[in-house]
Chains A and B, each alone.
Chain A
Amino acid sequence: MTRYWPALLSVALSLGAVGGYVSLLRMPVIRNHPALYLTAFALATAIAALASWRAARWPNLAALVFSAAMLVLGGYFNFALARIPTTAPALRVGEPAPDFTLPDAAGAPVTLASFRDRTPVVLVFYRGYW
């Protein structure tokens, strides 16, 4: 079993990258750097490829297939699925923000212009939890 440690390391690295990224999603340093998990998948693939090249036995080959699949899926997610098509926003730095009124969590209307001359406002548009 011990001679398959590179294969085990490869699989552990791939799974660890997924688990680490998902569990630490709230940390900007992790969340904002998808290259971290892609690098881990690439490293895992390289380790398994080297092990398979030295000994083409099923544990090494299975680790290679698994890590390479993670690399492909991770790359597809990051470079295709997660991409947002660039469209021109109706906002320019130095220009007024369009006014609006929306209901808050209690249903009370909130108007952007009501904060004028009182306090700066940070608007955070987010995708929501569905």
Chain B
Amino acid sequence: MQILAISPDSNERSQALAERLRAHYRFLTDRDLTVTRRYGLVHARGGNKGQDVPRPTTVVIDRQGIVRWLSLADNIQVRPEPGDVARAVRAL
């Protein structure tokens, strides 16, 4: 399984975050939200400075490139339960 974490953050900050968490994440930078927008996942003016930010979302994609599981936040505090994501991946 490959985890791709996407945010508008700069590369250096994403790298620092990855190292601090010692996580096997690959951090990708979507600086102007082009991909986030194409996916329909922009939270307009949701940032703390009123800027557009990604809507927290987790997507499980199978080996054929098909979306198999999807979690969209409707509250910025809430994230999917890690167990639910793991189960969705194991079910593939």
- Residue positions of A touching B, CB distance < 8 A: 28, 31-32, 34, 78, 82-100, 102-107, 110, 112-113, 115-130
Contacts and interface: CB of A to CB of B under 8 A. Distances in A.
Given A129-B13, A130-B49, A119 B1 contact: yes
Given A89-B41, A112-B65, A120 B60 contact: yes
A87 to B, nearest CB: 6
Contacts of B44: 85
Interface in B39-91: 39-44, 46-49, 53-70, 72-79, 81-82, 85, 89
A121 B61 contact: yes
Given A97-B61, A116-B64, A127-B54, A31 B39 contact: no
Interface string B1-41: 11111111101111101100000011111100001101111
Interface residues of A, dominant DSSP: loop
B40 A123 contact: no
B5 A120 contact: no
30 contacts: A28-B82, A31-B77, A31-B78, A82-B76, A84-B43, A84-B73, A87-B42, A89-B57, A90-B39, A93-B68, A94-B66, A96-B67, A97-B65, A98-B39, A103-B28, A103-B29, A104-B11, A104-B26, A106-B11, A112-B4, A115-B61, A120-B1, A122-B2, A122-B4, A122-B85, A123-B57, A124-B57, A125-B6, A128-B54, A130-B48
